[in-house]
Amino acid sequence: MLLELKGISQSKNGTRILSDVDLSISRSAFFVLMGPTGCGKTTLLRVAGLLDKPCSGQVIYSGRPVPHRGKERLDARRRMVTVFQRPVLFRGSVNSNIEWGLRIRGIPEDEIGRKVSKVLEMVDLEGYGDHDSATLSGGELQRVALARALAIEPSVLILDEPTTSLDPNLRLTLLRRLKDLHSRTGITFLMATHDFTDALSLGTAGAVMRNGRIEQTGMIDEIFYSPSTPFMASFVGMKNVYPAEFKEDGAVVEDLLIRHTSNRKGHGFLAIPPESIVVSRETTITSERNHFTGTITSVERAGPVFSISVDCGNLIIVSSVTRSALSQLDLTEGREVYISFKASAVHVF
Amino acid sequence: MIRYIYAGMLIAAVLSIACSGQSEPSAEAVREQIQEIGEDTGNESVPPRPSASRLRVATTTSLYDTGLWSYLEPMFEEEYGVELDVLYAGTGKALEWGRRGDVDVITVHSRTREEQFVEEGYGLARVPFAYNYFLIVGSPDDPAGLAGMTPDEAFTSLMSSGEAVFVSRGDDSGTHGKEKAIWSAAGYEYEDVRTSGDWYVEGGSGMGPTLVMADEMSAYTLSDMGTFIAYQNDLNLVPVVDQGDVLLNVYSVLQVTSTRSPEMSANLVEFLTSEAVQDLIGNYGVGEYGIQLFTPCAGLGM
Amino acid sequence: MSQLLQAVRIALDMIISGDPVVFSIAFRTLMISISATALASFIFIPLACLIHFNRFRGKRLLLSIVQTFYSVPTVLVGMLVFLLISRAGPLGSLGMLFSPGAIVLGEVLLIAPIITGLTISALSGLGSDIPDTALSLGAGKLQMVLKVLSESRYMILTAILMGFGRAVSEIGVAIIVGGNISGHTRTLTTAIALGVGKGETAASIALGIILLALAMIVSVTVNLLQHSEK
């Protein structure tokens, strides 16, 4: 573990922002911190980056707890760098901005020049050294902020919602660049975002926050394909999430019996991914163990596919079909259809 | 930028309007004026000396506004090799500074207070060195008809009619002290006079500025002869009452007991009472105004 | 009206020809006010940083008090300093009364609130982005403060100029603790007061024009600085 947060609680002006947060980030991970706006991500990043002291709890860096003041804290802070959501550059040239972090560490002059050109090349800004920081475009500014952070060769690079205020093109470019930098340099990344697709494309591990607490943490796959709570499920975009009573032969949701492959007993929740539901006009013999009939109540566009809501008695199940399937099957409101899905596709938690 | 030029012009115009009605000054006169409120260029090339060789004199305003100090200062500085700092104050302020030890010598004109100052140990001795007379001056048309009266008659007339304006120094100066003495001789309590009406104006300024104020208001005021003569040409005031023993005005120099420079202070007293300087004092202003502003009196027991 | 314009013309002539008397008073005034401003800046800009970057009880109260004293009457400060440095006062042994140094001392106290308050404004105007950025790049506290000062240099320069403007145009301190001694502690403002009181209008105008010019130079410079902030 490179960076650990144990029992972190934080309040500001009497309002509780973080409650008992535990986090573990391993060396060279790309750790993504997710959650809706206002759940405390920025506050947590500030504690992790040693910019703020928490009301209680510890930050442990490289196995050693970081004290609240003193040289040891400064040394630890100097091994990390935070790039803020809307970065601010200092007055002067791009070069002077990038050099500053090196100068305050007393790096010798000749080395400074070398490091500066290296990072400028890393962010595709060769030759921009003499440009005045006030004349840069939004995208260039972001890249200089990134270069400035990379120049000091940190162990941990913390990014607070870097993609939030960017237009889609810049966003994609940035994500690609971050991924590239991560694999090139092996720096440990800690990134906050409220868009979980960032996590899916970049992250190796992550955590989801809600109201100042960690809802779930672990490897990215775990989080997305095995959400541990209903909140998590809806966060990761799962549909068809229902409370269920788990009995001997299956899970009872309303009056439907749904077959699944888990050992769960008693109260719980299950979710059925829309893309695993097959819609047809007539009944077919298939290997899926779950079959239901129902009436289509709505047909909605959902990006490149369509969302079909089927009323199966007391339950509305949402399925996802392609455009061609839609027209082939002639799915319209009011139609009677058959839906089926595998027991193994049912998500239980 | 244009905005600032307009603002500057506007302010200059306002200043002009506010100060209209002055007699036309020639370039020479203005240069003289600057000299009065400025300083000799000679001194400026010499860097100021450390405080041990600076002597501080607090002077009553009438000795200053007549220009007597500006006349004597360079002479003293030359002869004794010291920088003289002349502070413009009323007698009251000068005495206070003397008590606090903030000045080395005082030149004032209030006998009773000077004697008290010495008795209380703040001053070494009272050394009179020149005298002249006070005058009651006013506008030429003399609205209250004070011409020819004695001082207390004139004051009684002013108080009872309560119409003609009188400007008082109101600053605890020697002149103010004399004014109060005259009110007392006329049988009035000073507090009653002060509060008796708008006709009595307490200026709170030195002698020169008080004369200017009286001129502006076409009012009466009590002034020492020296300052009045020095200002006469620029003012529209004339002497109205000039007879009476009470109007005697004696200037004394006192060395402050707690001075840091006792030797140099003694030198100044010596200087003012020396024969040569006494002569100069007696002749001061004669050429310019045609009349003696001060009569030397060192050693005459005044 | 024409007499007045005549006086103005004479006054301008004295300025253009570099009249030594006028200019020695102006030079002395500048020396005193510049010294006071420099000294006040050396002391109170660091103090402002200390106040701004630290949390403590009563900080808001302190800031209110500082702002209240922006326009403290100059005669009050003059009186206070007089009582302090008079021979009869606690600092009397320094013998500072009626010297240019006394005026400098008084003016330092006079403009301290302005320098402190406007510097704190400049620092807070910068927001928390720059300090955070500096800290996150590994700056120690002092390095961060220096960087913030550097980033807000134009606003701080404005604070210093405002302080200078107040110092050069005040009279209360100069006249009470300086004594208006000819050749020694006579400044533009005290000379004008003396001149006007004695009816020497034209001479006062010449000095007044110089004082006005100084005030305008300060004002224009502040304006230019604020423009280049944008």
Q: Which of B112, B104, B34 is nearest to B254 (CA)?
A: B104
Question: Is C179 part of any domain?
Answer: yes
C-alpha distances in angstroms, A321 versus A274, A278, A305, A326?
A: 9, 8, 6, 6
pLDDT score of B49 more than 50 = no
Q: Are A44 and A168 found together in one domain?
A: yes
How many separate domains does chain A show?
2
Q: Give chain A's largest Cα–Cα span.
A: 77
How many separate domains does chain C show?
1
Domain that holds residue C73: 20-55+62-229
Chain C interface residues facing chain A, Cβ-Cβ under 8 Å? Answer: 129-130, 132-133, 135-140, 143, 147, 150-151
pLDDT score of A310 more than 90 = no
Claim: this prediction has a pTM higher than 0.90: no
Give the model's confidence band at B44: pLDDT under 50 very low, under 70 low, under 90 confident, else very high: very low
Q: How far apart are CA B296 and CA B129, in angstroms?
A: 6
Nearest CA-CA distance, residue C125 and chain B, Å: 27
Q: Are A221 and A303 found together in one domain?
A: no
State whether B37 and C99 contact (CB < 8 Å): no
| CB neighbour list of residue A191: distance below 8 Å, 6 or more residues apart | A30, A31, A32, A33, A158, A159, A162, A178, A198, A202, A203
Percent of chain C's residues with pLDDT above 90: 53
B77-93 in b/e burial notation, b at 16+ Cβ within 10 A? beebebbbbbbbbbbbb
Q: How far apart are CA A223 and CA A217, in angstroms?
A: 7
Question: Is A257 part of any domain?
Answer: no
Question: Is A254 part of any domain?
Answer: no
- Mean pLDDT throughout A96-111? 92
Chain C residues inside the 8 Å CB shell of A49: 136
CATH number (domain holding residue C194): 1.10.3720.10
Question: Is A258 part of any domain?
Answer: no
Token pair belonging to C44:
């109170």
Q: Which of A322, A299, A301, A323 is nearest to A309 (CA)?
A: A299
Chain A residues inside the 8 Å CB shell of C143: 104
Token pair belonging to B157:
């007339």
Q: Where exactly are the structural domains of chain B? A: 49-132+249-296, 138-247
Token pair belonging to B149:
């009266």
Question: Is A256 part of any domain?
Answer: no
Token pair belonging to B137:
């001056």
Question: Is A170 part of any domain?
Answer: yes
Q: Are A326 and A195 found together in one domain?
A: no
Q: Are A27 and A75 found together in one domain?
A: yes
Q: Are A163 and A308 found together in one domain?
A: no
Per-residue HEC secondary structure of A248-291 comes to CCCEEECCEEECCCCCCCEEEEEECCHHHCEEECCCCCCCCCEE
Give the model's confidence band at B9: pLDDT under 50 very low, under 70 low, under 90 confident, else very high: low
Query: CA angle, A249 as apex, A247 and A255 as ends, to 5°?
Result: 70
In the three-class reduction of DSSP (H, G, I as helix; E, B as strand; rest coil), residue B12 is classed as helix
The alpha carbons of chain A give a radius of gyration, in whole angstroms, of: 25
Token pair belonging to B215:
């001129």
Question: Is C7 part of any domain?
Answer: no
pLDDT score of A224 more than 50 = yes
Question: Is A240 part of any domain?
Answer: no
Q: What is the pLDDT of residues A72-86, one digit of tens each?
A: 999 999 999 999 988
For domain B138-247, the CATH superfamily is Periplasmic binding protein-like II (3.40.190.10)
- Mean pLDDT throughout A117-122? 91
State the best of B16, B37, B41, B83 to mutate against chain C, taking most chain C CBs within 10 Å.
B37
Q: What is the pLDDT of residues C129-139, one digit of tens each?
A: 999 999 999 99
Domain endpoint, select from A202, A231, A260: A231
Domain covering B49-132+249-296: architecture: 3-Layer(aba) Sandwich (3.40)
State whether C92 and B101 contact (CB < 8 Å): yes
Which pLDDT belongs to residue C4?
A: 75
Q: Are A275 and A331 found together in one domain?
A: yes
DSSP for C162-188 reads HHHHHHHH--HHHHHHHTT-TTTT--H
Q: How far apart are CA A169 and CA A274, in angstroms?
A: 29
State whether B85 and C220 contact (CB < 8 Å): no
A-chain residue closest to C154, CA distance: A91
Beta bridge partners of B57: B86, B105
Q: What is the pLDDT of residues B79-123, one digit of tens each?
A: 999 999 999 888 888 999 999 999 999 999 999 999 999 999 999
Domain that holds residue A332: 271-348
State the best of C23, C87, C96, C177 to mutate against chain B, taking most chain B CBs within 10 Å.
C87
Q: Which of B231, B182, B189, B180 is nearest to B206 (CA)?
A: B231
State whether B27 and C92 contact (CB < 8 Å): no
